[in-house]
């Protein structure tokens, strides 16, 4: 394979010749309150979309979400673009996004996430793009032990980038300046990555999240009846896991549109149960309790002293996250 000839022998020995795996556990970033500039780190734009691992084996392409769901039929234009790549076999990691103006919008992407039929997806007016930021496997070699900066160099060289495929650019050293710029532009934030880091198949402090906004996943545990002109439901009650126990995080009543409301009500009606799975008093009346199986993305201003969200708003539904893995995101010291 020609790429081996282009890298130093010490790195060449880290590439493992093996058949292509059916699945790669994705590397996840750790939330931090620190903001820093460091010549040993690179900085990428944090994108607000759906995480996606793409597997290409000759003429076959499969897109898998981070909880291993096949999403190929939801994004057929991305599948076709990857099929045309001159490199025959690879596994790449990236984020599928839709835009509202110049910023990525998970809310806009919702209209594609809900589509499971390939033909219907191709007719959708919602344009999507696949921002690829890492290369894990190429031809017959697993390269997750290679330094990140080298993996990105190979990624840029051995794939062709035309819409809907886009290479995720990065800057070097100027982390604080880039973060400040990101927040001015209304981005979700920045991902800081250690240049020499391996691709670890877990959450790691070698990748860090500098968030401009507070936003994370929660689990729906119940809902209240609608008021006024609202259809289906009034608000959702949400929670997260802590030491394998469900904790209550508050009530969300804004951010819904008719499409999300209709979809949510249909799914929630099939998950009704008599008692909440959260222990302790919640203090809400007329609640319909549901099994904790639906994950949502929620934005908020801050956590209160009582452990609830202040000014929460629904951003969208998450299909790429296992409810059991939803925990309170607390910045590393």
Is the same domain home to 245 and 127?
A: no
Q: For position 190, which CATH number holds?
A: 3.30.470.30
User: Is there a domain that residue 36 lies in?
Assistant: yes
User: Is there a domain that residue 128 lies in?
Assistant: yes
Q: Give the domain-ending residue among 211, 242, 261.
A: 211
Is the same domain home to 204 and 60?
A: yes
Please indicate whether residue 46 is annotated as part of the active site.
yes
Is the same domain home to 156 and 255?
A: no
Is the same domain home to 185 and 220?
A: no
Q: Which of 5, 10, 34, 46 is catalytic?
A: 46
User: Is there a domain that residue 146 lies in?
Assistant: yes
What pLDDT does 279 receive? 74
Q: Give the domain-ending residue among 165, 181, 211.
A: 211
User: Is there a domain that residue 330 lies in?
Assistant: no
Q: Give the domain-ending residue among 180, 211, 242.
A: 211
Is the same domain home to 55 and 195?
A: yes
Is the same domain home to 102 and 183?
A: yes
User: Is there a domain that residue 333 lies in?
Assistant: no
Count of structural domains, the chain: 2
Is the same domain home to 124 and 267?
A: no
Output the tens digit of pLDDT for each of the chain's 333 residues: 578 888 888 899 999 999 999 999 999 999 999 999 999 999 999 999 999 999 999 999 999 999 999 999 999 999 999 999 999 999 999 999 999 999 999 999 998 998 999 999 999 999 999 999 999 999 999 999 999 999 999 999 999 999 999 999 999 999 999 999 999 999 999 999 999 999 999 999 999 999 998 999 999 999 999 987 778 899 999 999 999 899 999 999 999 988 888 889 999 999 999 988 887 778 888 999 999 999 999 999 899 988 899 999 999 999 889 999 999 998 875
- Could you write out the three-class secondary structure of the chain? CHHHHCCCHHHHCCCEECCCCCCCCCCEEEEECCCCCEEEEEEEEECCCEEEEEEEECCEEEEECCCCCECCCCCHHHHHHHHCCCCCEEEEEEEEECEECCEECHHHHHHHHCCCCHHHHHHCCCCCEEEEEEEEEECCEECCCCCHHHHHHHHHHHCCCCCCEEECCEEEECHHHHHHHHHHCCCCEEEEEECCCCCCCCEEEEEEEEECCEEEEEEEEEECCCCCCCCCCCCEEEEEEECCEEEEEEEECCCCCHHHHHHHHHHHHCCEECCCCCCCCCCCCCCEEECCCCEEEEEECEECCCCCEECCEEEEEECCCCHHHCECCCCEC
Is the same domain home to 222 and 88?
A: no
Range of the domain at 283: 214-325
Is the same domain home to 87 and 144?
A: yes
User: Is there a domain that residue 192 lies in?
Assistant: yes
User: Is there a domain that residue 165 lies in?
Assistant: yes
Q: For position 225, which CATH number holds?
A: 2.40.50.140
């Amino acid at each position: 394979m020609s790429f081996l000839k282009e890298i130093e022998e010490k790195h060449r020995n880290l590439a493992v010749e093996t058949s292509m795996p059916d699945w790669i556990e994705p590397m996840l970033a750790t939330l931090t309150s620190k903001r820093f500039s460091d010549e040993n780190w690179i900085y990428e734009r944090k994108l607000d979309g759906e995480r996606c691992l793409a597997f290409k084996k000759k003429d076959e392409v499969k897109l898998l979400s981070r909880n291993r769901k096949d999403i190929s039929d939801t994004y057929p234009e991305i599948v076709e673009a990857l099929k045309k790549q001159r490199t025959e076999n690879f596994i790449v990691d990236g984020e599928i996004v839709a835009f509202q103006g110049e910023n990525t919008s998970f809310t806009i992407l919702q209209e594609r996430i809900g589509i499971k039929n390939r033909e219907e997806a191709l007719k959708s007016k919602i344009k999507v793009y696949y921002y690829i930021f890492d290369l894990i496997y190429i031809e017959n070699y697993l390269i997750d032990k290679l330094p990140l900066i080298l993996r990105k160099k190979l990624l840029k060289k051995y794939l062709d980038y035309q819409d809907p495929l886009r290479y995720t650019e990065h800057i070097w050293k100027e982390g604080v300046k880039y973060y400040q710029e990101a927040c001015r532009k209304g981005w979700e934030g920045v991902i800081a990555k250690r240049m020499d880091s391996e691709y670890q198949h877990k959450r790691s402090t070698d990748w860090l999240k500098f968030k401009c906004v507070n936003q994370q996943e929660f689990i729906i545990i119940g809902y209240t009846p609608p008021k006024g002109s609202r259809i289906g439901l009034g608000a959702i009650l949400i929670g997260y896991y802590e030491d394998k126990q469900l904790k209550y995080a508050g009530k969300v009543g804004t951010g819904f549109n008719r499409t999300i409301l209709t979809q949510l009500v249909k799914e929630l009606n099939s998950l009704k149960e008599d008692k909440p799975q959260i222990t302790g008093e919640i203090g809400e009346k007329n609640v319909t309790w549901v099994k904790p199986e639906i994950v949502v993305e929620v934005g908020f201003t801050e956590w209160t002293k009582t452990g609830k969200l202040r000014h929460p708003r629904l951003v969208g539904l998450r299909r790429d996250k296992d409810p059991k893995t939803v925990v309170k995101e607390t910045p590393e010291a």
